[in-house]
Structure 1
Amino acid sequence: MVSSDDSKGDPVAPSTLPSTFNPPADSILWRPDFLLGAATAAYQIEGAAQEDGRLPSIWDTFSATPGKVLHGDTGEIACDHYHRWESDIDLLASLNVDAYRLSIAWPRVMDEAGRPNEAGLAFYRKLLQRLKGKGIRTSVTLYHWDLPQHLEDEGGWCNRATAYRFAEYADLVSRELAGLVDFWSTLNEPWCSAMLGYGTGHHAPGRSDLRAANAAMHHLLLGHGLALRALRRNDPASSKGIVVNVGRGTTDGPTRDDERAAELFELQHNDWVLDPLLRGQYPARLYEELWPGARPDIAEGDMAIIGAPLDFIGINYYFRTNVRSDGAGGYVEVPLADVERTQMGWEVYPDGLSDLLVAFDRRYPNLPPVYITENGMASDDAVIDGAVVDDQRIAFLNRHLAAVDEAVRAGVDVRGYYIWSFLDNFEWAFGYERRFGIVHVDYTTQQRTPKRSAELVRDFLARRRERG
């Protein structure tokens, strides 16, 4: 999920909070073929960082570096899902969800020479088999930010060779798990991997170099295209795609330069990723106006590999960013006052989701079917008298699902929505302080407590099944 370096102001709760989850009768949510699920990522929940042959990842290194993660938290234990996966899947099934999105930890399934680690592969095989046995559709992301550290030592995503190592990893995993996966996603949020990991240093591996970020982005997308070939070869019955995070840029400034600033924000946040995937080229304006001199080296044939057709695209959305001109041809963020915010300090702005979905549908005639693969919010949840009443999250889900409905009515082919997240978990640079789950996790006892939001989703899905 998206995780910026700092929050922007204190959380502001809405004045009224609906305490129910009851979509209108004509909502797409009532359609039995619309998937409503929940999502997690390996490093954020699994723990067992040094067990059964798992190699170190860049996030093991980064989180162990003083000052990089809030409170010095690491993913060493996380939600201990590696040991509790059976009961966790039983809990997930009790919520009646249609689908579950998880990621595979690259360092858990291969050694440094690229040979399979059977213990790691067995873990995911059993996990997926149990999900299938519960009737839950499986959505697997191959890369959710946990690059093996030995590959980073060789240059990481700035090294073109990493794209080919990623394709080898995709080939291995898709051969081993063929038939158990409904949806394969190659990458999660390449913008975050490239920009936060290599451009600003706020995420692992902690580099701060704009040229490195652009090289990393190109090699991430090249790896995506190469991996698609392996997935199609090894598991033809599954759907294949990629997950991208998108951001709505707006301005409250009065000038044309301020309007241009909002355009530039979306150019670098959205078009930087979507244009090569869906148009087969990077947006020229990006390097002409915003990042002159940062264009990556592109080999002949790369863009055709990157732009290979997709079966679906996953969209992750959380908030909008208000910007104004910086007076030098760029933009600067200017947070709005008196708006609702979450524990992360992110503005709650459902219209941004519908705005972007409609805009993408118009911009890209070849836009494949869309799944909202992450949407959710952090709140300072606590168990009180055995319950967690997360009214702001319930309101958040109601309003964002209404935004999806609006986009569908405008003609966008949206086929599913995954709540981020199933469990409270390790929130990257924010450690364990920020809680995104619809299930509360006590990190001392590992006790799981479904929040009110989880109970409402469970009850709605039970009603939908009764309606048929």
Structure 2
Amino acid sequence: MVKQLPKDFIFGGATAAYQAEGATQIDGKGAVAWDKYLADHYWYRADPASDFYHRYPVDLELAEKFGVNGIRISIAWSRIFPTGYGEVNPKGVAFYHRLFAECHKRHVEPFVTLHHFDTPEALHSQGDFLNRDTIDHFVDYAAFCFEEFPEVKFWTTFNEIGPIGDGQYLVGKFPPGIQYDLAKVFQSHHNMMVAHARVVKLFKDKGYTGEIGVVHALPTKYPYNPENPADVRAAELEDIIHNRFILDATYLGEYSDETMQGVNHILAVNGGELDLRKEDFEHLQAAKDLNDFLGINYYMSDWMRGDDVEKTEITHNGKGEKGGSKYQIKGVGRREFDVDVPRTDWDWMIYPQGLYDQIMRVKANYPNYKKIYITENGLGYKDEFVDGTVYDDARIDYVKQHLGVIADAIADGANVKGYFLWSLMDVFSWSNGYEKRYGLFYVDFETQERYPKKSAYWYKQVAESRILE
């Protein structure tokens, strides 16, 4: 069956500053919490990563050559403000001007994210976004960037507010490494959404040209047995933690009664309370109809059992040992990994239908959404480098299936305007290191040479034809 994607559909590649740039301690860049956290907890570092700081002309030339006409880039906040506020670092500012100029030279539209998991250490150590002062500093940083970089036409406030709270305060795989504190998870989500709303309102009030939105990771949650009310409830509660709470804040400007009932149940079981202020909701309300786009990052779905979980227990499968994952939350339920769905070595369930369902859910429940970009999707794999390339047929199949359901969603009335493969070239993965590769271009991290994979040639052909066979 042949499927067609629209003529103006963007075929992009995605990156993030800390995962790609390297150069973590040169040209005035300030520290981020990850610098020490990787040294203390993991077996790899973020230098040199893909050395994008120096090799971006090579990567953008490859993008142009292989039909990639959009790139997600994040600005490293601590390259601009080494401590998060105060003195501006001119070398950092100059770097991003050079980078955006190269994007335009190569006809690759930059979609620029202000925050991709890398709050400056000076602010992170004071509580990150749990500290409301960080909200003010973020708004000031955003205001500076909007003035400084008029060449950017597409702005994203945050990448994946959900996984930030999850990684920092639930799983504990991100700094500061706190586990099982559900109140901190929801408070982090809320405060970051307030920061997002304030920045969107500022962007619109100042009348900047261009568009602004937010990128949410939206893993779809299903009941293991749809006939079992306990499984259905577990899927609903898990969805509230990861998706519904932040989507409500984005598009309703408040939390629906059903959402808050779920949050209150989770906190009653696990402890803690939230600080939700009247002025917070004024900010959320003011911005709810101003988002120009929603970025959806989608990699996987989860199946939930509503077992009577006595204690929260989550193990993070960092090294790609299939079957090494465990995930259960007291008062919510547990994820069932033994389902008839293929999964990666990292136990991520490969289920394209979940992306279709998530797009259509946004369309149905949040009709003020305007438009959607799929801002991340891709297959993390232990690529085998053979004969100067990677024969990554599994990645091609994965992307083809996901592009197929995007075409279906468009046919069914959803306004989806582009797809950004994670990742443009191989980068380092936050809590998995360098073995988990996603790129169209294989990076030899010793030499920093780039090699197009089989998927790069396939992607080019689809980008040029707009046709999925």
The answer to whether the superposition gives a TM-score over 0.5 is yes
3-state DSSP class of the match of 1:102? strand
Q: Does 1:278 find its partner at 2:255?
A: no
Structure with the larger RCO, 1 or 2 (CA within 8 Å, 6+ apart): 1
> Residue in 1 aligned with 2:409?
407
> Residue in 2 aligned with 1:9?
none
| 1:87 positional shift | 1.4
Give the whole-Å Cα distance in 1 for the aligned partners of 2:22 and 2:189: 28
Give the whole-Å Cα distance in 1 for the aligned partners of 2:295 and 2:248: 15
3-state DSSP class of the match of 1:191? helix
> Residue in 2 aligned with 1:287?
263
Does the aligned pair in 1 maintain the 2:190–2:249 contact within 8 Å? no
| 1:123 positional shift | 0.7
For 1:61, which of 28, 32, 36 is the aligned residue?
36
**What does residue range 218-367 of structure 1 map to in structure 2 within 5 Å?**
218-233=190-205, 236-253=208-225, 254-282=227-255, 283-292=259-268, 294-307=272-285, 308=287, 309-327=290-308, 329-367=331-369
Give the whole-Å Cα distance in 2 for the aligned partners of 1:457 and 1:145: 28
Give the whole-Å Cα distance in 2 for the aligned partners of 1:122 and 1:233: 27
Q: Does 1:203 find its partner at 2:174?
A: yes
3-state DSSP class of the match of 1:291? helix
Which residue identity is paired with 2:134? Answer: T
Give the whole-Å Cα distance in 2 for the aligned partners of 1:423 and 1:88: 7
3-state DSSP class of the match of 2:28? coil
Give the whole-Å Cα distance in 2 for the aligned partners of 1:417 and 1:295: 38
Does the aligned pair in 2 maintain the 1:175–1:235 contact within 8 Å? no
Q: Alignment identity in percent? A: 34
Give the whole-Å Cα distance in 2 for the aligned partners of 1:310 and 1:194: 22
Does the aligned pair in 2 maintain the 1:175–1:234 contact within 8 Å? no
> Residue in 1 aligned with 2:328?
none
Cα deviation, 1:115-150, whole Å, max 9, x if unaligned, reads: 211101111111101111222211000000011001
> Residue in 2 aligned with 1:17?
none
Does the aligned pair in 1 maintain the 2:4–2:466 contact within 8 Å? no
Does the aligned pair in 2 maintain the 1:174–1:230 contact within 8 Å? no
Does the aligned pair in 1 maintain the 2:389–2:442 contact within 8 Å? no
Size of the aligned set, in residue pairs, is 435
> Residue in 2 aligned with 1:382?
384
Does the aligned pair in 1 maintain the 2:116–2:159 contact within 8 Å? yes
Which residue identity is paired with 2:57? Answer: E
Does the aligned pair in 1 maintain the 2:59–2:425 contact within 8 Å? no
Does the aligned pair in 1 maintain the 2:391–2:454 contact within 8 Å? yes
Cα deviation, 1:381-419, whole Å, max 9, x if unaligned, reads: 122111211000000011001111111122111111111
> Residue in 1 aligned with 2:157?
186
Shift of the 105–235 alpha-carbon distance from structure 1 to 2, 3 Å rule, reads: farther
3-state DSSP class of the match of 1:186? strand
Give the whole-Å Cα distance in 2 for the aligned partners of 1:320 and 1:84: 35
Give the whole-Å Cα distance in 1 for the aligned partners of 2:302 and 2:466: 35
Does the aligned pair in 2 maintain the 1:287–1:294 contact within 8 Å? no
Which residue identity is paired with 1:92? Answer: A
For 1:161, which of 119, 128, 133 is the aligned residue?
133
| 1:205 positional shift | 2.5
Does the aligned pair in 2 maintain the 1:218–1:296 contact within 8 Å? no
Which residue identity is paired with 1:310? Answer: N
| 1:346 positional shift | 0.9
Over the aligned positions, Cα root-mean-square deviation in angstroms equals: 1.7
| 1:432 positional shift | 0.7
| 1:464 positional shift | 5.3
| 1:108 positional shift | 0.7
Cα deviation, 1:67-93, whole Å, max 9, x if unaligned, reads: x33xx1111210111111111211111
Normalised to the residue count of structure 1, the TM-score between the two structures is 0.89
Q: Does 1:152 find its partner at 2:124?
A: yes
| 1:187 positional shift | 0.2
Normalised to the residue count of structure 2, the TM-score between the two structures is 0.89
Which residue identity is paired with 2:4? Answer: S
